Amino acid sequence: MSDGDSERRRGVTLATLGATQILAWGSTYYLPAVLAKPIAADTGWPLTWVIAGLSIGLLVAGLVSPRVGRVIQSRGGRPVLAFGSAGFGVGLIGIAIASSITGYIAAWAVIGLAMACGLYDAAFATIGRLYGARARAAITTLTLFGGFASTVCWPLSAMLLGTVGWRDACLVYAGLHLAIALPAHLIVIPGAAAHDAPASVAAAPVAGDDAGDDPPGEHRLTQGQRALFAMIATSITLFGAIASIMSVHLLSILEARGVTLAAAVSLGALVGPSQVGARVYELSMGRRFHPTWTFIVAGCLIAGGLTILFLAFPLVAVGLMLYGGGVGVMTIARGTLPLALFGASGYAVLMGRLALPSLLAQAIAPSAAALLLGHESALWILAILMTLALFNLGLIVALRSVSSRIAPAAPVA
């Protein structure tokens, strides 16, 4: 295959993954924002339990993600992503036909299994499996698509809700997964053997790795590398907790500052474009720097944005834009940093391991914050988030120092 044909095929692969990521995120993670209250009003189920469906899904996703990473490493991402599309379809059908809260929660558990197979972590692992050390730009491009999930699907969900109702809205999304995303993954996504990175790249070992006694695709990390991996996992988990709390409780935090609901919604809308803008900048300029610097920039933006929200309220718009930019860059960094530090060999396995604590945190943190809201002002939540973000920034700076000594690696292209 010529270089031109290879690049065209790569472009088609990324476009397909990008489109299916928009659908996957928009019909699951962002679905309750539009449909939760109508579902509760129509069925009489407690709104808390309706919203808890997503938390159940994230818990399931976190628990099975390590296994999913191992499957992608051994068999490639195509069957896993296809299974995810099928799971999304089945789970959404389950929500549509649920006659009890038990059936509704069970449907979300099925969606959680699909989330482990079909959201960013699985997609990043697939890209790393296909392109090896050349995956950085592809990961960034994919996050650009994903950044439009709420922009596309919130209005679509609202339109479907107003025209066909919430049950048929879920069926429409299920049909899109089964009729479009599922065959697209099977037809377009290359098999691992057909489009894997060259052996000299894809099999690049972790510095100091002695993989001779390990199963294919597994890493034997040195003690220092295990410590570095634990630092990355802790940082990504803290980020997941912060981001999930902000996504659920941002409007409450702004209203606690005296902002009207309409103004809070308008201000909250700044986060999405800021994420996309930061990712565009990273795509054009980020390849000049090692991903550890991307990680540091993300930590600075998130910590700076939350500090401004807490201490300098008149600059709330600036704080939200900085925070949004940090979230956008952090999403890229959590895909590219492990690839740069530990190499492409076993990357899918490592991504599965990293996803476990992060998804569990995303499942639990919003509910914990909601309990705090019942007793304290939302400003207490903001103060806690600011403290966590500042701690995380310190951890990221330490990570940069440790990584330069333990696992130096070439930047990902």
Eight-state DSSP code of residue 212: T
pLDDT above 70 for 208: no
Instruction: Work out the pLDDT band at 1, boundaries 50, 70, 90.
Output: low
Query: What's the CATH superfamily of 223-406?
Result: MFS general substrate transporter like domains (1.20.1250.20)
Average pLDDT over residues 281-297: 80
pLDDT above 70 for 98: yes
Contact 44, 98 (CB under 8 A): no
* The two structure tokens encoding residue 243: 């981001």
Residues of the chain with pLDDT > 70, as a percent, come to 87
Residues near 168 by beta carbon (within 8 Å), at least 6 away in sequence: 96, 160
Contact 24, 180 (CB under 8 A): no
Higher-scoring residue by pLDDT: 386, 147? 386
Segment among 63-77, 243-257, 297-311 with least mean pLDDT:
243-257
pLDDT above 90 for 60: yes
Q: Rounded to an integer, what distance in angstroms lies between the CA atom of residue 217 and that of residue 70?
A: 8
Instruction: Work out the pLDDT band at 411, boundaries 50, 70, 90.
Output: very low
Average pLDDT over residues 233-247: 91
0.85 cut: is pTM over it? Answer: no
pLDDT above 90 for 16: yes
| Amino acid letter, 6 | S
| Amino acid letter, 165 | G
| Amino acid letter, 279 | R
Contact 21, 149 (CB under 8 A): yes
What pLDDT score does 247 carry? 79
* The two structure tokens encoding residue 326: 């940090």
pLDDT above 90 for 56: yes
Average pLDDT over residues 356-366: 89
What pLDDT score does 197 carry? 43
Higher-scoring residue by pLDDT: 39, 273? 39
* The two structure tokens encoding residue 308: 């401004």
pLDDT above 80 for 213: no
Average pLDDT over residues 97-108: 96
Level-2 CATH architecture, domain 7-200: Up-down Bundle (1.20)
What pLDDT score does 408 carry? 47
Instruction: Work out the pLDDT band at 53, boundaries 50, 70, 90.
Output: very high
Higher-scoring residue by pLDDT: 332, 5? 332
* The two structure tokens encoding residue 6: 């290879």
Domain ranges of the chain: 7-200, 223-406
Instruction: Work out the pLDDT band at 215, boundaries 50, 70, 90.
Output: very low
Strand residues in 8-147 grouped as ranges (E)? none
Residues near 357 by beta carbon (within 8 Å), at least 6 away in sequence: 62, 233, 234, 236, 237, 240
pLDDT above 90 for 371: no
What b/e string do you get for 323-345 counting C-beta neighbours within 10 Å, with b at 16 or more? Answer: bbbbbbbbbbbbbbbbbbbbbbb
Average pLDDT, the chain: 83
What pLDDT score does 99 carry? 95
